[in-house]
Amino acid sequence: MTMDRARAEAYPLRRREVVASLIGQRTDLLLVGGLGAPSNDIAAVGDRPNFMPLWGAMGGAAMIGMGLALAQPSKRVLVITGDGEMLMGMGALATIAVKAPGNLSIVVLDNERYGETGGQTTHTSARVDLCGVAEACGIRVVGKVVTAAELEAAKPAILEFAGPCFHVIKVKAEQEEMILPPKDGHYLRDRFRTAVLGAEAAKL
Ligand SMILES: Cc1ncc(C[n+]2csc(CCOP(=O)(O)OP(=O)(O)O)c2C)c(N)n1
Ligand SMILES: [Mg+2]
């Protein structure tokens, strides 16, 4: 198995710009961030009540997004996670395809690395194709993005199309400044529940 270290350094898209261009100042999306860099990317755009960063639960982001999407069918749920995190919970794609929440969209920022722990190459730097896995599972909308033009073209699918939607966005392997979201679990839970349900209902 060849792990290609150099390729990801040459990908044109930069993760911070990708995330900023996807979420902008939107407060209507329910955002789930995979642990580490993807959550930092969202925090760099702006930490908001509609954002649930995961500080652990590696491999669980897509499944947490699925539960949220099923529970809140009138809201768009966007999961932004990393390739290492998605690889760890790949089985989620089968369940997501079968439950098929139309309001769920998953974006994998694929730098072909475990960035957080020192940049070890992941299986996507070799032969593993997460879009192929999602397609084989039967996820309705699947796309791979490498260029800025492809990102623009994919935006309506990522943000609006009836899903489930799954996109792999190849991003340059680079270390960004750490901009950490809040860490306190109780605070994050209460803040997110209030954002989703309103202050009164969130108290129950
Ligand atoms: C179960 C578990 N294993 C390992 C870790 C350590 N860990 C934290 S983040 C991370 C890498 C995440 O890689 P990826 O999802 O690709 O994100 P990137 O930083 O590359 O954007 C690892 C291995 C962990 N937190 N939990
Ligand atoms: Mg990664």
Kindly state whether residue 203 falls inside one of the protein's structural domains. no
Ligand 1: does its nearest atom lie under 6 Å from the Cβ of 35? yes
From the CA of 88, how far away is ligand 1's center (Å)? Answer: 9
Ligand 1: does its nearest atom lie under 6 Å from the Cβ of 37? yes
Query: Per-residue confidence at 18, pLDDT binned at 50, 70, 90?
Result: very high
Query: What's the average model confidence in pLDDT over 139-147?
Result: 98
From the CA of 171, how far away is ligand 2's center (Å)? Answer: 9
Kindly state whether residue 202 falls inside one of the protein's structural domains. no
Dihedral of alpha carbons 19, 140, 36, 203, sign: positive
Kindly state whether residue 204 falls inside one of the protein's structural domains. no
Give the Cα separation of 33 and 43 in Å (integer): 9
Query: What's the average model confidence in pLDDT over 26-54?
Result: 97
Ligand 1: does its nearest atom lie under 6 Å from the Cβ of 83? yes
pLDDT score at 203: 84
Q: What residues make up the domain containing 54? A: 3-196
Does pTM top 0.75 for this prediction? Answer: yes
Kindly state whether residue 31 falls inside one of the protein's structural domains. yes
Q: Which residues pair with 170 in a beta bridge?
A: 110
pLDDT score at 30: 98
Q: Give the list of residues 6+ apart from residue 2 with CB closer than 8 angstroms, or none.
A: 126
Kindly state whether residue 201 falls inside one of the protein's structural domains. no
**R_g of the chain, CA atoms, integer Å:** 16
How many independent structural domains does the chain possess? Answer: 1
Kindly state whether residue 58 falls inside one of the protein's structural domains. yes
Q: Give the list of residues 6+ apart from residue 32 with CB closer than 8 angstroms, or none.
A: 52, 54, 61, 64, 65, 68, 77, 78, 79, 80, 81
* Closest ligand to Cα 117: 1
pLDDT score at 1: 67
Query: What's the average model confidence in pLDDT over 106-122?
Result: 97
- For the domain that residue 89 is a member of, what is the CATH number? 3.40.50.970
pLDDT score at 200: 87
Give the Cα separation of 87 and 120 in Å (integer): 14
